A and B are shown apart, each in its own frame.
Chain A
Amino acid sequence: MDNGASSYRRFLDGDRNSFTELVREYWDGLTLYLSGFTNSITEAEEFAEEVFLKLYAERPPFSGKSSFKTWLYAIGRNTVLNMLRKRRKIREASLDGFYDVSDREDIERNHIHDENKKLLYGAMEDLHSDYRQVLYLVYFENFGVAETAEIMHKSERQVYNLLYRAKAALKKTLEKEGFEYEEL
């Protein structure tokens, strides 16, 4: 049982501090992942807050069939898709957008320690949402193809194909900017 799962168990048993531990451990990574669904880091934080609120209020049971992180990210994806489906609104610039840059940098700085990966994550902004998600999950969160497929509700074959096209698109983008990354 991983650390997140044990923290969640303790939270379900009534330990509120365990919930803070979960937030501390998974907030940044989940926010960056959810930013793949939207270009606003503030909106991604809002989504992440909704995901943790769902954990806190509804307390869904964790079966342990997958890792807690995979389970949490899958919940995050479903929550975001539901929220986007409900909203269907015209994107408007909010006051929170002024803090997007600083927040993004802070989150990236906290979560992505490799400088090359930070440049790479910045280059992913212009990619398609699915490409960004699959690249983030595989190269930044180090999920395997199977886990990525579980989170994204796709088959492994689809994830392979998606990952291949995402890398090609990112490579093309990086070549435009004169940047080379050996791992791609």
Chain B
Amino acid sequence: MRSYEEISNRIMERGDKLIESAKVRAAKIRHTSYAVSGMCAAAIAGIGVWHIASYVKKPDDGFNGSGIVSATETITENTSSAEITTALTTTSPKATAAAKTTKVTTDRKNSDTTSAVPAVTTAAVQTTSAKTSTVHVTTSGNNANETAIPESPAKTTTADDPTPVTTTVRPVSPDGNDNGNSGNSGEESVRITTSVHIEDGPTTTSASINETSTETITTAKSGPQMGDGGYVPPTSTTTTSLQDVFRANPSYITLNEVRYEKQAEVSVESIGSYLHRVDVHIMYIRKNIRSVMKAYLIEGVDEEEAVAVQLKDTDEYYLFRNTSYKKDEAE
């Protein structure tokens, strides 16, 4: 039989172990609870921030400061095998593409050589680079070999009469072969053929302008009609204000999951009470610019039918109309 001291010591030993393990377990639980509560707090904060982020005023996608839109656009188009053909018929003397004076000495009777002293100063109309070229002029004659002697300087006069001019620009190979299938790159040389019909005499002169050039035409992009191919478009930077972009492009807003599209400008007198801020989506070229503006009711007009949006930093109000609105449905 065990003595009472043995029993007591055994119980106290077990009790000490039990107390120690309880302390360790409590410490583990405490540390775990700290970590878990921290994670929960972080998660709650994250969810909260994410949840209220949509209600916080955004910095207008970069329009906040100066109200200036700065867009950089890179346009790359393949011009290696393109052929530029520009047919231009000019009827106004002032709008004549090329002021041209051709002094042609032609011996129609017995001369096989035509000495032409051309002077061509080409001022491009609706093209972008002005060129002064030395060209070969071939004049069609009876049994005449085609010989052109370029000379310089050239006279430049302005035609008084309307002169039809047809300019054809085609890529040519560096060796002068004008066959389009000869494998030329088209980037390094082009052939510009200009047909000039001069009606001041019985002779019609067809001038062929051959040009070999190693430069790449770089033009400033001036409009969407450009870019038909045949030249390397540049990287252009356009700076436009938000207000101009808004006025010039279609826009829409979404209110209560209903799409309102921009219509005409409305007068200030017809503006009703303030609704709330809205995100205005401006469809600008290939981008969708978003800006926060203020929406207002229009007096006498149902909110479901149309609302007014004040253009930011201006006193202009624009009508945004619900395109799917039908009055019968509303009634």
* CB proximity to B under 8 Å, residues A49-80: 49, 52-53, 56-57
A121 at the interface (CB under 8 A from B): no
Contact of B8 among A23, A102, A106, A107 (CB under 8 A): A23
Are A20 and B1 in contact (CB-based, < 8 A)? no
Are B12 and A16 in contact (CB-based, < 8 A)? yes
Minimum Cβ distance to chain A for residue B288 (Å): 69
- Secondary structure dominating the interface of A: helix
Indicate the member of B10, B11, B14, B19 with the most A CB atoms within 10 Å: B11
Are B12 and A19 in contact (CB-based, < 8 A)? yes
- Secondary structure dominating the interface of B: helix
Name the B residues within 8 Å of A52 (CB-CB): 7-8, 11
B257 at the interface (CB under 8 A from A): no
Are B11 and A23 in contact (CB-based, < 8 A)? yes
Are B12 and A27 in contact (CB-based, < 8 A)? no
* CB proximity to B under 8 Å, residues A1-38: 16, 19-20, 23-24, 27
Are B1 and A102 in contact (CB-based, < 8 A)? yes
Are A20 and B5 in contact (CB-based, < 8 A)? yes
B15 at the interface (CB under 8 A from A): yes
Are B11 and A103 in contact (CB-based, < 8 A)? no
Name the A residues within 8 Å of B7 (CB-CB): 23, 27, 49, 52
B55 at the interface (CB under 8 A from A): no
Are B15 and A27 in contact (CB-based, < 8 A)? no
Instruction: Tell me, in angstroms, the Cα distance from A56 to B19 when the chains sit together.
Output: 9
Name the B residues within 8 Å of A57 (CB-CB): 15, 18-19, 22
Instruction: Tell me, in angstroms, the Cα distance from A57 to B18 when the chains sit together.
Output: 7
Name the B residues within 8 Å of A107 (CB-CB): 1
Interface string of A80-120 (1 = CB under 8 A from B): 00000000000000000000001100110000000000000
Are B12 and A106 in contact (CB-based, < 8 A)? no
Name the B residues within 8 Å of A102 (CB-CB): 1
Minimum Cβ distance to chain B for residue A66 (Å): 23
Name the B residues within 8 Å of A27 (CB-CB): 4, 7
Binding site for A on B (CB under 8 A): 1, 4-5, 7-8, 10-12, 14-15, 18-19, 22
Binding site for B on A (CB under 8 A): 16, 19-20, 23-24, 27, 49, 52-53, 56-57, 102-103, 106-107
